[in-house]
Structure 1
Amino acid sequence: MINVPFSALEVAMVQTGTRAVDTLHDTTEFARRVDDLGYRRLWYAEHHHSPAIGAFPPVVLAAHAAALTSSIRLGSGGVLAPNHAPIMLAEQFGTLAALHGGRIDLGIGRGPGTFDEPTARALRRGAGPTTDDEYRDDVSATLRLLVEEVALDPLPEPWLLSSSTAGAALAAELGLPIAFAHHIRPDNTLAALEHYRENFTPSRWCARPRVLVCVETICADTDKEAAWLAGPMEVVKAELLKGRGDIPFPTPEEAAAHSFSPEDEQALAAFRAQQAYGSPETVAKQLADLVGVTRADELMLVTPVYTLADRLRSYELVQQHVMAPTTP
């Protein structure tokens, strides 16, 4: 058993052959179930213009889930600062936190949330990619406005999302807990977290370095079944590596028939080696090893599989066989 808190990331995959509204129904059931299972947080990721991922605003999903659950923390993982005015983020998440008893997290990220350039420009009202200084100013302004303008009680708990050393440096500078996207840039994880811990400056938000590591986790009854369930996302990843974000989320049967190039196979194998796929015994070892090398204070699991039933089964197996029992 692993004695750190476990959380969940919802990316709202839209399966081939279903409608986006079906995905919304699934997110509702998923929120209720992970709350019952004792996961600490459930965060929603911001995405746009993708056939495989629903374009559902994190603040709306968090508000909906908060009204349906009792103890799990809800929030963004992340809401993308360059796409939103700081005052709007402060007002939205400040209001949510006040309405829901301090159960709201504000996880802030930088990316555009889309591979489609016209969509990215539309989100930013015609502006180009944000600079380092603009991003720092946006995050700082959001934090300041939470305190000075919104001033509700309690405030949301802010986190900075990162997949690089640059993001880790900003989290350290601002004294924020860091949520590191190991499920996106695993090769950056250790160097970024080392930089974060060495350069951390305490703040009103966080007295010491706090590290959450997000890891792709697919747990099934056997290693073979987990590999089968991982197939659809492997198809999507192979296309993302080529800069294509317009690929639907296929069925496991379609994924099994997909032909990968040798370069794809090599890249996917390297990625799999740093995530957690397999039986409960396999996943327990992989996650324990990850906690050991990263010294993570918390793990967040993302499980992009085709059906809600298989996704819930993965979280249930982790809860039964990997998570240390929580104190009543």
Structure 2
Amino acid sequence: MAVPLSVLEVAMVQTDTDPVDTLRDTTAVARKIEALGFRRLWYAEHHHSPAIGAFPPVVLIAHAAAATSSVRLGSGGVLAPNHAPIMLAEQFGTLAALHPDRIDLGIGRGPGTLHEPTARALRRGAGPVTDDEYRADLTATLEYLVDEVVLGALPEPWLLVSSPAGAALAAALGLPAAFAHHIRPDNTTAAIDRYRTDFKPSRWCPGPRVLLCVETVCAATREEADRLAGPMNVVKAALLQGRGDLAFPTPAQAAEHPFTDEERKALAGFRAQQAYGTPETVRQRLTRLVEATGADELMLVTPVYGVEDRLRSYELVAP
């Protein structure tokens, strides 16, 4: 690949396993990602989902940092509406002091859950964050990072982006931007164009810097890649209906799932914009995405059942 590769770990909790099993796997994943030469390993914040562990990114980062020595570690992301800005600055400043030049603070906007009572609990009863509140939280977090630097260290801040509006905010604040192509691929081109057009240099970033996150499932054969992608297809079909209550099924269970024609069409459209298949096919697809977007870095997310299959997918695409 012509650009660095990184990994987003969403800590899937598989059917017939316990969350603690997923936690144990995170150590092996972090060590393997480092050994394979990936630049970064980020963790995502999720809540009240049977398919994704509710593991705070700051805790996973600290755990992985103690088990590795060189890979950059960060959040992809922590969700600003759920946290006091000063706490984010203190937590990630402390991590940066303990592990210099290795910590990223990726910040996003969503609640991290489709379960409304959980979203309100995270916000202490408040409703969804407004545009003005989100911008104020981001600005305050960046100010605390500078004004109350913990032990003289700074993490590298990133803004998670999935829309042109988010891209405009990243540009106005002069932040590197991580684009959620794996969630809203139809927004990618417009969002990146807006980001580059509006970007204002800052102490955090002298010019536009684009990381593109792509759902990537790689296997020795196309048929095996399709099999591995099956469980996440089931979860996505539920999300299309606004449901976040589905467990992460086994590949065998996914193969028996009765998708509707509408779901199959939507999944096929999504798949066409990601990277699935053999190593050659995946590399070609990732290369085309870099050429089309001008991305400076790619981040791969591989939500497949079983840590061995996930790590094998990373091995086949490793830099």
Q: 1:151 to 1:203 in 2, by over 3 A?
A: farther
* Amino acid across the alignment from 2:163: S
Tell me the distance in 2 between the aligned counterparts of 1:153 and 1:4.
31
- CA contact 2:176–2:210 (8 Å) conserved in 1: yes
Residue equivalent to 2:172: 173
Equivalences for 1:204-283 in 2 at 5 Å?
Answer: 204-283=203-282
Paired residues, number:
319
- Is 1:42 the counterpart of 2:14? The answer is no
SS in structure 1 of the partner of residue 295 of structure 2: coil
* Amino acid across the alignment from 1:158: P
Tell me the distance in 1 between the aligned counterparts of 2:217 and 2:97.
35
Tell me the distance in 1 between the aligned counterparts of 2:127 and 2:150.
32
Residue equivalent to 2:15: 16
Equivalences for 1:1-328 in 2 at 5 Å?
Answer: 2-319=1-318, 323=319
- CA contact 2:29–2:311 (8 Å) conserved in 1: yes
Tell me the distance in 2 between the aligned counterparts of 1:192 and 1:163.
7
- CA contact 2:90–2:150 (8 Å) conserved in 1: no
Unaligned runs of 5+ in 2: none
The alpha-carbon deviation at position 154 of structure 1 amounts to: 2.7
Tell me the distance in 1 between the aligned counterparts of 2:77 and 2:150.
22
The alpha-carbon deviation at position 151 of structure 1 amounts to: 4.8
- CA contact 2:57–2:74 (8 Å) conserved in 1: yes
Unaligned runs of 5+ in 1: 324-328
Tell me the distance in 2 between the aligned counterparts of 1:73 and 1:163.
23
- CA deviations on 1:213-248 (whole Å, 9 max, x unpaired) are 000000000111000000000000000010000000
SS in structure 2 of the partner of residue 8 of structure 1: strand
SS in structure 2 of the partner of residue 228 of structure 1: helix
- CA deviations on 1:32-71 (whole Å, 9 max, x unpaired) are 1001111000000000000000000000000000111011
SS in structure 2 of the partner of residue 152 of structure 1: helix
The alpha-carbon deviation at position 267 of structure 1 amounts to: 0.1
Tell me the distance in 2 between the aligned counterparts of 1:239 and 1:161.
24
* Amino acid across the alignment from 1:56: F
* Amino acid across the alignment from 2:292: V
* Amino acid across the alignment from 2:97: A
Matched-pair identity in %: 75
Tell me the distance in 1 between the aligned counterparts of 2:5 and 2:299.
6
* Amino acid across the alignment from 1:278: G
What is the TM-score when the length of structure 2 is the normalising length? 0.99
Tell me the distance in 2 between the aligned counterparts of 1:20 and 1:97.
27
- CA contact 2:97–2:150 (8 Å) conserved in 1: no
Tell me the distance in 2 between the aligned counterparts of 1:58 and 1:162.
18
The alpha-carbon deviation at position 3 of structure 1 amounts to: 1.3
- Which runs of at least 4 in structure 1 moved beyond 3 Å after TM superposition? none
